[in-house]
Structure 1
Amino acid sequence: MSEHTARTRRAVVTGAGRGIGRAAAQLLSERGWHVIAVVRDAAGAREAFDRSAVEVRVADLRDETSLATVAAELGEDGADLVVANAAQFSPWDETVLTADLDGARDILDVNVLGTWRTIQAFSKALMRAQGSLIIVGSGGGSHGDPDFGVTTNAGAVGYAASKAAVHVLGRKAALELGERDVAVYVVDPGLTATAPGMAGMGARDPRDGALSILRPVLGDGFVPAGSFTRDGRALAW
């Protein structure tokens, strides 16, 4: 982290227009961070953050130029934290044999390449501040999650494949950026109610999911860089 005080630390959160990303932006703002919420729908986000000290910026993870524009606005102080959260889900009943590959390609573009573009766009800002990068993974892309891991069911294959790739991307980024004084964490929010009907499945509130992904910077315990965790506890990749 930089030597800025907590009240002046700057965080960038992608996918901050709804769900876990919105909750993460709000939590950081409540803790005194200066938050830049990266969204696709500016009007909806500005309404959501109307009474908080959150700046809204529009960028599309499919477009590296729009991400670079947001990164350039950070200036010499850089970013103390970037949360690469934006992602798309695939249908629960999507399997290898039934998947619409055009839809799968879109999910891979957003979830994998979008995360990659985010890392590239904000890497220099993170290095200037010696900050932290939090990459939101998923138990759905893990070999160790007993409920939703890749060995448990055939569904949501596009999402699972994308998050497995994101985990590899995060681990590789941890090795490279760690040499440049940037701590990289891959985190799982747990099953979170980000779509209709998920609360009935026992999914947690988005705020609880946000607390899980922010544990490396907001939690009381130590989370090692380069790890894959949920609620600060190690998960099997």
Structure 2
Amino acid sequence: MIHTLTPEQQAYALAVLALLGMGCLTLAAHLRTRWLERFGVGFLPAHVVTMAVLCGCGLLLLGPAGILTSSIGATLLAVPLGLAGGVAVIWADGAILRGLSGRRGGNTRRRAVRGGGEGVHRVRPVPLGDQAARRRTIGIFKVTGSFAPSAEDYRVGLGWLLGVAVLEEIVFRGLLIRLTQLLPEGTQWLGAVAVTVLFALTHVFFGWDQVLAKLPLAAVALGLALTTGAVLAPALAHALFNLHVWRCQRLAPDLPRTRQVLR
């Protein structure tokens, strides 16, 4: 007789939903690289479709309450709160990246002075998506160097970027936060913090600078979701941020894209 932890099938379904939700970007990268790239499918379309399927399954399991719907008053507040949150995220993301870039530049100049100027010649910017940059990422990507999305994968139409923004909010601030509410009393906040950090860590493909820079987006989106009881406000904030990124890419298409904001 096979022993099972619980006869409740929904518990296993929720566990699978949590695992796939936490690793949806990596799952899309593997699906695209292993099977879809040969058909000309880009990374973002694969990511959008993967998240759409995951969101559909999650909504069937959990229902739309607290994810897509909330009170009328909260829904009316979602638009101004979401737009204000998006502006705050744009400022915070840029400030963190500028600060890290300035600190790195200062360290480089100090090393150059101590080393007689040799440090200047050793510093070479690595464009996002370069194969060397891929090999410096972590985990299985350090071994294969073939699954990390490149910069070119993200230079797509605005519609895909907006789709990613909305679907990521449904996954991270909708489904996963809803799952944390099923945890024992007193540990739910730990689950929310873990989801927030995990969202930032999904940007490790682009370097640790991007992980730090995405913490404000994750924190603001979580606050908006908990305040309004749905993902409309965080989705608006994320969409505004992605719109800003898309606009910056179009205004400066020829500038080096070293660790640029991409999502």
User: Is TM (by shorter chain) over 0.5?
Assistant: no
Max Rg structure: 2
The alignment's TM-score, normalised by the length of structure 1, stands at 0.28
Q: 1 or 2, which has the higher strand percentage? A: 1
- Of structures 1 and 2, the one scoring higher in RCO (CA 8 A, sep 6+) is 2
